[in-house]
Structure 1
Amino acid sequence: MRRENPGNNMLDRMFDPKAVAVIGASRNEGKVGRAVLENLIAASDNIDIIPINPKDKEILGLRAYPSILDVPKERNVGLAVIVIPAKLVPEAIEQCALAGVKNVVVISAGFKEAGIEGAHLERECVALCEKYGIDMVGPNCLGIIDTTSGLNASFAANMALRGNIAMMSQSGAICTVTLDWAEKNSVGFSKFVSLGNKADLDENDFLDFFYKDDDTAVIAAYLEGVKEGPEFIRVARQVTRAKPVIVVKSGRTSVGSRAVSSHTGTLAGADAAYDAAFRQSGVLRADSLTEMLDKSRAFSAYPLPSGRNIAIVTNAGGLGILTADACANAGLTITSFEEATIAELRDILPPAAGLYDPVDVLGDASADVYAHALKIVLADKNVNGVIVLVSPQAMTAVGEIAEKIVDIVRNSEKPVLCNLAGGTRVQEGEDVLHKNGIPNYPSSERAVASMYALCEYHSIRNRKYSSPGVLNVDKSIANAAIKEACATKTRTLGLESMDILSSYGIPVVDSRIAKDLPEAVRISEEIGYPVVMKIVSPDISHKTDVGGIRLNLKHADDVERAYNTMMSDVSHYMHNAQISGVQIQKMLGGGKEVIIGMNRDPQFGPLLMFGLGGTYVEFLRDVSFAVAPISIDDAKHMVTSIKTYPLIAGVRGEQPSDIGSIIDALMKVSQLSMDFPEIMEFEINPLMVMQEGKGCVAMDVRFTIDTK
C-alpha cells in the first residue's frame, strides 16, 4: 500500500476510463499486446482504444501512435496498459506521467520474480509512481476487468460475466481458471484484478476500493501473502462490517525460513499468523479455490440467515443423514419444527415420509410435493435456512423440481442451498439453476460449508471490536535489559530476565541465581524448602531435554545431589553450553501449567500463543494464536478456544483455575511485544495458574533479542 489512502477517484478512472492506451500493442497473433487489444475492442463500444507502437500507424483498424506522448490530449487517456520488455517499462511510466496518465497496468514480466536485475527495475518503477502520483497494478500480471464499464484490459481468454463478486488474485493462472469456470457455471463478477507482484497497489488498496464500489457485494481473493499485515487487519475489519471477504491463502504448509528456538516459534510456522489475522479481522478463510468460489456464489445469490438453525428437505434418507452429520460437524443446528409445521407436512406427504428434520419427501416425490414441503419448512420461525437435496430416481422430474426451487428462492428471505446430487440425470436441473443465478453444489458437504459461511458472516457483520487499550507499566527495566543485551550481543535472555515480567505486572516465582553449589544451598535455605533447581544458560532452550531441571528438593543433601547430577547431565548433552549457574525457585503446587509465548511474524508483527504448558506442549499442539495488540475479547478467545480449556475451567468437581489472571497476563505480554520490537520471541513456560481468585505465577521465561 503506497499511500495511506489511495484516491478512489483515481481508481474509479482506472476501471472506468474514457480512453485506454496499449503500450506495446501488436498486430501479430499470439502476442500478448495483440490479445489485450482484441479484448479491449471486444468488451466495449464506449471506450476509446489507442494502440501505441513505434513501427505501425494502424493496428486492427485503430490509429496507432509511436508514443503515449504523441496521443492528442483531448483523447483523455485514463489508463495505460503496458506490454513491452521489462527494461523499457520505467521509461514508459515516465512518459505516461508526462502525458498526464495517472493509472497504469503493467502486464510485462521480468521484474523481481526474475532475479536481482528485475528487482532493481521494479524498484525503479515504484519510485517513478511515487514521484508522479501514478497508481500501478502489477507488474507481471494478467490485467484488470470491469464488467460495468465494459473494460477488459487483460489477456485472459474469457471476458467475465456481469455480477456482484469482485475478485483479486496474485496468480494470473488462478484468474484464467476462475474466469473459465465462471463462464461454464454462469457466475458473474463486478471487478477482476490480477495483482501480479503488487509493487504498488496491493490487496489493502483493492479491499478498500471494492468496499466503496456500489457494484460489488462480495469480495474474493487468492493471496500468497500480504505486504502490510497490520494495515490489512485494519482495512479488513472495516470492510467485513459491510461486505463478506473470502480468501484462499496458499502456502499453508511452508515453514518460516528464520530459525526459531522456542515452542512458540516451532508451533507458529508460517500460517498461524494468517489464521489469527483473518479471524481477528472478520475474513472468511477458504481451504481451496473451490471452497472460495462456492462461498462467494452463496453470498452472491442468497440473503443472510438470522441464525444457525438449518432444515433439510430430501428425497433420499441416506443423503439427508449425511447432510445432517455434516451440519453438526460444521457447527450448524438441525432444528426442531413447530407443531403446526409438522401437521402441515403430514397433510401433504405420504405416511412413510419423514416429517421431522431432515424432511424426507420420499423417492417418488413430484415437483409440486417438493415445492409444498419446502414452502412449509421455510415458513417455520425456527428455521433460518434450508438445504434441498435431490437424488435422481427414475420418476424424479429434476428439471421441474429445479424450476420450483427457482421460484421459491426468488421470493425467500432465507437462504435455500441446493444439492442436485448425481451426474447426467441432474444436468437439466443444474442448467435451470445456473441460468437463474442459483448455485448447485455437487455435494451436500459443499452446500453445508457454504451455509456455514453465510451463518458465520451474519455473526461477523454484527461483531464489535473492542480496543486493546494501553496499560500503565514500567518500561525502564525492560528497556535497560534489552539495551544491555544489544550492547553485549547477547541474543538470548533466560531466567535472569524475570524482572522484565515483574516490571509489566506479571507475578513471578520467588527465585534467585546461584553461581556455585554453596550459594545454591544458602539460597535454598533462605527461600525455604521445597525448592526447584534450573540450569541457567543462554544456549539451552528446553531444560528438561538435557536434565536441566530438578523438582521438589526438600533439604541441603537434595540440593547438593541435584546440583552435581545436573552439571554432569548438562555437560554430557551440551558440552559446549555456557553455564551461568542455577536458579533456585520456591516449589509451588496446586496449579495448572500453561504457556504464553510470542513469535514476531514478518508480515503481521507479534504473534501471541497460548496453550497448556509444561513439557508436552509441542506434542499436544493444543494452542491458540492472536496478532498483537489484542483486546480483552481476543485474550478470552485465546483461552477458551483450546480443546483442553475444560481442564482449566474445572472438570469433574475440580475448582476452576484463575482464568482472569491468564487474560490479564496475555494483555500485558501483548503490550510488552508492541513496546519492544527488539524482542523477536519469548515464552513463559510454565505460567502456573492457581485456583480462581488466587492468580498466576511465571515459573520460567526465555527471550530472544534482535541485537542488530
Structure 2
Amino acid sequence: MSTYALEAVFRPRSVAVVGASPRERSVGRTVVRNLRQAGFAGPVGVVNPKYPRIEDIATVARLADLPFQPELVVVSTPAATVPDVIAEAIAVGARAAVVVTAGLGHGPGSLLERLRDIARPHGLRVVGPNCLGVMAPHVGLNASFAARAPLPGDLALVSQSGAIAAGLVEWGAARSIGFSAVVSLGDALDVDFGDLLDWFAQDPKTRAILLYIESIRHARKFMSAARAAARAKPVVVVKSGRHAQGAKAAATHTGALAGSDAVYDAAFRRAGLLRVLALDELFAAAETLGHLRSAPGGRLAILTNGGGIGVLAVDRLIDLGGTLAALDQATVQRLDAVLPPTWSRANPVDIVGDADAQRYTAALETLLSSRDNDAVLVMNVPTALSSSVEAAEAVASVLEKRPRGGAAAAKPVLGVWLGGGERALARLDAAGVPTFATEADAVRGYTYLVRHREVQQALMETPPSLPEDFVVDTAAAQAVVAGALAQGRRWLDPLEVTALLDAYGIPITPVTLAADPDAAVAAAAPLLAEGTPVALKILSPDIVHKSDVDGVRLNLASEASVREAAAGILARARELRPQARIEGVTVHPMIVKAKARELIAGLADDATFGPVVVFGRGGTAVEVIDDKALALPPLDLRLAHELIARTRVSRILKAYRDVPAADERAVALVLVKLAQLAADIPQVRELDINPLLADKDGVIAVDARVAIAPHEGPARKGPWHSRFVIRPYPKEWEREVELAHGRRMSVRPVRPEDEDLFRAFFDKVSDEDLRLRFFSAVRHFSHEFIARLTQLDYARSIALVALEPGSGRMLGAVRLLADANYERGEYGILVRSDLKGHGIGWQLMRIMIEYAGSIGLKAVEGQVLRENATMLAMCRQLGFRVALDRDDPTVMNVTLEVAAGAAGERVRFPGLVAD
C-alpha cells in the first residue's frame, strides 16, 4: 500500500471518535472539540456507551449505531480495546483510522501486532498508534488533541514525534505560517513517510513538504517516494540523533567511517532532499522555498542602507560557502548615475543611511537587470533620516511592476527589515518577499535556495558514459566468495581479495602467502633480485587491523631482513593474540610512488540502508582524520565524482607545486566498480581498500580486506538486489529480439547517460508522430525534458530502448510508470518514423507487458489519440480494452489486465497473434 485510501485520512466525508468522555482534559473530548472548532463540514459521531452527550453531541454505544457510515475513525480508547474497535470500524465500512492511544507494545503477541493483523487484510489505513493525530486545515479537519489548530497554508508537515508536531504548529501560528496538513506518525504501524511523501507530492494544496525524522524503517520505500517527491516540490528534512555512535562495532576502517547519521545524510542527498540541522532552520528553509521558486545561480548581491550589517551578511555568506556577486563595470556605472557619490561602489551596495524610497527603487532596478548576480538581498536599518515603511513600499512596487518573463522576473529577492514594524513586513510579504529577523537568517535562507537548486540540478545531470572496457567477471568473483563461505569463513584471505578485485578490474599489488620465515624468504627472492624491496604482513583470520599487533614491516631489501621480520611478526602476533589463528605472513612488492595520494575506498553495511560506498583520506589514522564522504549505490561516474568532491582530500588530487594532478577519473571508476560489486555479490558486507594510491598514472590498491556473510535471499519478488534501497540498473531485462525478415535488434533499459542517444532519435521522428506521442507539437527538446526520460527510478518505472546492432542507433522506446500503489502502470511508446511496420513497437510492447507482470501490476493503461489508428490497432491485437475517454472525445483509454509472472517468464497475452 501507499496512497491507497489516504483520501479518507485527509479528505474524509465523515468522522467518528471512539473513546471520548466528558472529562475536561480527556484526549477523546479534545479531539471532538478540535473537530467542531475547525469547522469540519461532514457529520461527526461520538461513540461512548457510558455518557449520553459529549461536547453537545449525542453519543452512541457502538459504531454500528451511528446514523451514517464513518470514513475516518479516531480511536482514543484504552490500549487493550483498540484491536476490537478497529475490527468494529472495518465492519461498518470505515476506510481509515487514526489511533492516538499509546501503550500497544511491540513484537510478537503484542496488541500492536494484533491490530496489524486485523487491519491489513481489509485494507484499512491506520495512522499511529501513539500519535498526536491528523490536521488538514483546508477541509476543516483537526482530528488531533493538539492545543492549537494550524492555519491554512501550503506546507505539509510529517513528524515522527507528536510533541514536535504540536510545537511546530504553535511556532507557525505565532509567525502566520500555515499548513496544508500536519501528520503525527507515532509508531507508524501502517501509514509511514513513504506513503505520505507520495500523497503530498501529488497534493495541489502542498507547496513544500517538511519532515521531522528520528529513524526510517522501510528504507527502500522511503527512498523511492522521496526521490519522486523531490522532483515535484521542495522536501526539507530535519533528523534527530545526529551524534549517535553507530560505528563502534565496525571491523573495517570503511565500516567505522560510515556512522549512522552519515548514511542518513547520504540517503537524503541521493533522494534530493534538503537537510537542515534544527527546527528553526526547518522553517527558515520553508519560508524561503515557500515564497521563491528557485535561484538561477549562486551569486548574491546585497543592497543595504547600513554598511555594518552589509559586512556581517558577507561574513555569514562566506561562512556558509556562498558566493558574493562581483559588480561588473557596467553595473557600477549605472549605479553611479542614480546613487550619491558616497555609495560603496562595490558589493554590498551601501546606498547610505539617508537612503529614501527613490534610492531603493533605482538601486534595486539596476541590480535586478544586471547579469552579474543571481539573487538580491535587500536590507533596511531604521534611521531618523528615512522611512522603513516607504523603503518596503518601494521594494514591493519594483517587484510588482517587473515583467513576468526574462531574467529579472526569475531573480529572487529576500529581505531584512530591522525594526521595520508590521506594516513594512506585511507589504513585503504581499509582494512575495521572504523576510528574516537578521542578516544571518536571511543569508542562511538564501543558501537553502541555492542548495535546493543544486539538488534539483544533480537529479537532472547526465553522467558521462562508462568506458567501453568496463567489463567485470562476475562469475569469477562470485566463485571466490562462495568458496570462502563454504568453509565457514567470515573474511577473504589476501589471495582471494586479490582475485576478487582483479575480477572487477581494480589494480592491486600482487601477494604471496608464506607459512614461515623460510617460505617468506623464498617468496621475496625474485623481487629482491630485481631490486624491489618487499613488505610483510601478518596473516590471520582473527586479526583484522594488522598494525594493532605490529604486524607490518616495510622496505625490506635483503633476505636476512625478510627472515628476521617474518620471525618477529609471527612471534609478536602469538604473544599479543594467543588465541588467534596464525597462518603465516603475506609478501608484497613495495609500491613506491613518491607523489601519490593515500586514499581509502570501500563498502560498509548499514542496518537501515544496506550497502554504502565510502571514500576519503587513507592511511592508518583514517578515523582520526575523519575526511570521508558516503554514497548509496548504485553509482555512475557523475555520482562518483560528486562523492569525491565532498571530501577535503579531493583538493590535493588536483595539481599543486611540482605534483601533477592525480587521475581522478580512475579513482571515480574504482568507486563505480565497488558499487557494481555490491550489487553483484550481496554476500560482501564490508570491503576496505586502504591505502588506495592515486597519481597521474592511475590507481593501485596496496592493502584490502573483505568481510563476507551468507545472503539471506531477496526481500521481495523479482531480481532486485534485496539489500539495495535504490534499485540498480535492471540488467536482467536486456534482450536480443528477432524482427521480420531476419533482422534483429537489442533491447535494454534506459540509462542516465542516454541523453545524446535520445536527441539523435528525436531527429528521426516526424513532427506528426511526436504530436501523436506527446499530444502536442514538440519543437525543442530541452535537457530537462530528456533528463526526465532517461533519469529513472527503476523501482517505479522502466523505459526500454531498441537499438540497432552494430551502430547502436536508437530505433524506438517504450516506458511504463507504476502508480504509488503498484497496482497499475501507464505506458508510452515511440518508434522512429522511417522504421514503422518492422515490428519494433510490437516487440517493445510485449517486453513492457512482461515486465508489468513480473512486478505484480494488475493492469497496464494508456491514453491514445483517437486519430492514432495504428496504435489503437496494435493495442487491440495485444488484448487491450479500448474505450472513449469520458472527459475528452479526442482521446481513447486503453487498458490491459496483466497476468502476474516472475521475472524472466513469458506472460501470456489475451488475444495475442503472431508477428
Moved more, 610-619 or 242-251: 610-619
1:70 aligns with 2:65: yes
Give the Å deviation of 1:534: 0.8
2:173 alignment partner in structure 1: 183
Give the Å deviation of 1:186: 0.8
Give the Å deviation of 1:61: 2.1
Give the Å deviation of 1:371: 3.6
SS of the residue aligned with 1:681?
A: strand
Please tell me whether the aligned partners of residues 69 and 92 of structure 2 are also in contact (alpha carbons under 8 angstroms).
no
Moved more, 346-355 or 504-513: 346-355
Q: Residues 454 and 393 (structure 1 numbering): CA distance in 2 closer, same or farther, change over 3 Å?
A: same
SS of the residue aligned with 2:436?
A: coil
Pairing 1:405-554 to 2, within 5 Å after superposition: 405-410=395-400, 413=409, 414-421=411-418, 426=421, 429-430=424-425, 433=428, 438-462=433-457, 463-464=459-460, 473-498=472-497, 499-528=499-528, 529-554=532-557
Pairing 1:570-649 to 2, within 5 Å after superposition: 570-590=573-593, 591-649=596-654
Moved more, 96-105 or 427-436: 427-436
Give the Å deviation of 1:405: 3.8
Please tell me whether the aligned partners of residues 466 and 632 of structure 1 are also in contact (alpha carbons under 8 angstroms).
no
1:697 aligns with 2:690: no
Question: What one-letter code is carried by the residue in structure 1 that aligns with 2:584?
Answer: G
1:110 counterpart (91, 95, 103): 103
How many residues in Structure 1 have an aligned counterpart in Structure 2?
Answer: 694
Distance 1:159 1:411 in 2: 36
Distance 1:465 1:338 in 2: 30
Give the Å deviation of 1:151: 0.9
1:309 aligns with 2:311: no
Give the Å deviation of 1:246: 0.6
Computed over aligned residues only, the root mean square deviation of the Cα atoms, in angstroms, reads 2.5
SS of the residue aligned with 1:370?
A: helix
Give the Å deviation of 1:428: 5.8
1:98 aligns with 2:91: yes
Distance 1:232 1:611 in 2: 27
Please tell me whether the aligned partners of residues 409 and 415 of structure 1 are also in contact (alpha carbons under 8 angstroms).
no
Question: What one-letter code is carried by the residue in structure 2 that aligns with 1:666?
Answer: L
Q: Residues 400 and 611 (structure 1 numbering): CA distance in 2 closer, same or farther, change over 3 Å?
A: same
Summarize deviations over 1:456-508 as a string: whole Å, max 9, x none.
22233343266899975334444344445445443333424322222233222
Moved more, 624-633 or 343-352: 343-352
1:659 alignment partner in structure 2: 664
Distance 1:311 1:657 in 2: 36
Summarize deviations over 1:312-356 as a string: whole Å, max 9, x none.
111211111121222233333222335554344334433222232
1:688 aligns with 2:693: yes
Distance 1:537 1:218 in 2: 54
Distance 1:429 1:643 in 2: 44
Distance 2:521 2:331 in 1: 78
Give the Å deviation of 1:32: 0.8
2:126 counterpart (136, 145, 148): 136
Give the Å deviation of 1:599: 1.3
2:901 alignment partner in structure 1: none
Give the Å deviation of 1:71: 2.2
Question: What one-letter code is carried by the residue in structure 1 that aligns with 2:606?
Answer: D
1:298 aligns with 2:277: no
Please tell me whether the aligned partners of residues 247 and 259 of structure 2 are also in contact (alpha carbons under 8 angstroms).
no
SS of the residue aligned with 1:64?
A: strand
Q: Residues 228 and 472 (structure 1 numbering): CA distance in 2 closer, same or farther, change over 3 Å?
A: farther
Distance 2:12 2:427 in 1: 36
Please tell me whether the aligned partners of residues 185 and 434 of structure 1 are also in contact (alpha carbons under 8 angstroms).
no
Please tell me whether the aligned partners of residues 297 and 374 of structure 2 are also in contact (alpha carbons under 8 angstroms).
yes
Summarize deviations over 1:105-140 as a string: whole Å, max 9, x none.
11111134xx668x8222222222221111111111
Moved more, 99-108 or 366-375: 366-375
1:82 aligns with 2:75: yes
Where structure 2 has 5 or more consecutive residues not aligned to the other structure, the ranges are 403-408, 713-915
Where structure 1 has 5 or more consecutive residues not aligned to the other structure, the ranges are none
Q: Residues 680 and 120 (structure 1 numbering): CA distance in 2 closer, same or farther, change over 3 Å?
A: farther
1:50 counterpart (24, 33, 45): 45
Q: Residues 545 and 258 (structure 1 numbering): CA distance in 2 closer, same or farther, change over 3 Å?
A: closer
Give the Å deviation of 1:437: 7.0
Give the Å deviation of 1:88: 1.2
1:382 alignment partner in structure 2: 372
2:27 counterpart (29, 32, 56): 32
Give the Å deviation of 1:86: 1.6
SS of the residue aligned with 2:435?
A: coil
Moved more, 543-552 or 408-417: 408-417
Give the Å deviation of 1:616: 2.8
Distance 1:570 1:116 in 2: 45
Give the Å deviation of 1:509: 1.5
Distance 2:546 2:703 in 1: 10
Give the Å deviation of 1:415: 1.9
Summarize deviations over 1:640-694 as a string: whole Å, max 9, x none.
33212232233223223232322222122112222333333221112233433xx
Question: What one-letter code is carried by the residue in structure 1 that aligns with 2:646?
Answer: S
1:558 alignment partner in structure 2: 561
Pairing 1:147-162 to 2, within 5 Å after superposition: 147-162=137-152
Please tell me whether the aligned partners of residues 242 and 461 of structure 1 are also in contact (alpha carbons under 8 angstroms).
no
Please tell me whether the aligned partners of residues 292 and 432 of structure 2 are also in contact (alpha carbons under 8 angstroms).
no
Give the Å deviation of 1:441: 1.6
Q: Residues 617 and 244 (structure 1 numbering): CA distance in 2 closer, same or farther, change over 3 Å?
A: same
Summarize deviations over 1:605-624 as a string: whole Å, max 9, x none.
11111112222322221111
Give the Å deviation of 1:438: 5.0
2:8 alignment partner in structure 1: 13
Question: What one-letter code is carried by the residue in structure 2 that aligns with 1:501?
Answer: L
Give the Å deviation of 1:394: 3.9
Please tell me whether the aligned partners of residues 398 and 428 of structure 1 are also in contact (alpha carbons under 8 angstroms).
no
SS of the residue aligned with 1:611?
A: strand
Question: What one-letter code is carried by the residue in structure 1 that aligns with 2:215?
Answer: G
Distance 2:549 2:248 in 1: 24
Distance 1:111 1:362 in 2: 64
Question: What one-letter code is carried by the residue in structure 2 that aligns with 1:99?
Answer: V
TM-score by length of 2: 0.72
Please tell me whether the aligned partners of residues 614 and 628 of structure 2 are also in contact (alpha carbons under 8 angstroms).
yes
1:402 aligns with 2:392: yes
Please tell me whether the aligned partners of residues 230 and 605 of structure 1 are also in contact (alpha carbons under 8 angstroms).
no
Please tell me whether the aligned partners of residues 241 and 460 of structure 1 are also in contact (alpha carbons under 8 angstroms).
no
Distance 2:399 2:28 in 1: 44
Question: What one-letter code is carried by the residue in structure 1 that aligns with 2:521?
Answer: V
Distance 2:506 2:659 in 1: 25
SS of the residue aligned with 2:691?
A: strand
Please tell me whether the aligned partners of residues 392 and 426 of structure 1 are also in contact (alpha carbons under 8 angstroms).
no
Summarize deviations over 1:584-631 as a string: whole Å, max 9, x none.
112212243321121111111111111122223222211111011222
Q: Residues 257 and 551 (structure 1 numbering): CA distance in 2 closer, same or farther, change over 3 Å?
A: closer
How many percent of aligned residue pairs carry the same amino acid?
Answer: 35
Distance 1:344 1:698 in 2: 58
Question: What one-letter code is carried by the residue in structure 2 that aligns with 1:23?
Answer: V
Please tell me whether the aligned partners of residues 510 and 527 of structure 1 are also in contact (alpha carbons under 8 angstroms).
no
Question: What one-letter code is carried by the residue in structure 1 that aligns with 2:58?
Answer: R
Please tell me whether the aligned partners of residues 187 and 437 of structure 1 are also in contact (alpha carbons under 8 angstroms).
no
Please tell me whether the aligned partners of residues 261 and 541 of structure 1 are also in contact (alpha carbons under 8 angstroms).
yes
Q: Residues 584 and 340 (structure 1 numbering): CA distance in 2 closer, same or farther, change over 3 Å?
A: closer
